[in-house]
Amino acid sequence: MLKLHLKSLPAVLGASLLCVVVARAQSATPSPDNGSLDVEQLFAGTCGFCHSDGGRAAGRGPQLMNSQRDDEFLHNRIKSGKQGAMPAFGESFSDAQIDQIVKYIRALKPREG
């Protein structure tokens, strides 16, 4: 009886891992247009890898705080990306959510301290 349980252990562990991965992917899904969106958290988890310090400093991508680019450019860059430099997020976020991200970028100020 013990051998049967040990043989099924990899399958059980694999299924458990799959459930964790699916649950994690679902939690990364943006909220609908009418739901609240924690833009700072979304930015940290989605954009922060390239745009350091919440967009306040250059990293793999440019600093976004005090960007000279207009809102339309930022919106379109987020939506469509840039070949070889930035992924497109137009299928991940609605236009209203992208507008909230642009608003977050415009509100960036240096951290105190």
For the segment 17-44, the average pLDDT, to the nearest whole number, is 57
Is 63 inside any structural domain?
yes
Q: Does residue 41 surpass a pLDDT of 50?
A: yes
Q: Phi and psi of 86, rounded to 5°?
A: -145, 135
CATH code of residue 58: 1.10.760.10
Domain count, the chain: 1
Among 12-16, 23-27, 58-62, name the one with the lowest average pLDDT: 23-27
88-108 average pLDDT score: 96
Given a cut of 50, whether residue 26 has pLDDT beyond it is no
Beta-carbon contacts of residue 74 (< 8 Å; ≥ 6 apart)? 64, 67, 102, 105
- Tell me which residue range forms the domain holding 74: 39-107
Mean pLDDT of 56-74: 96
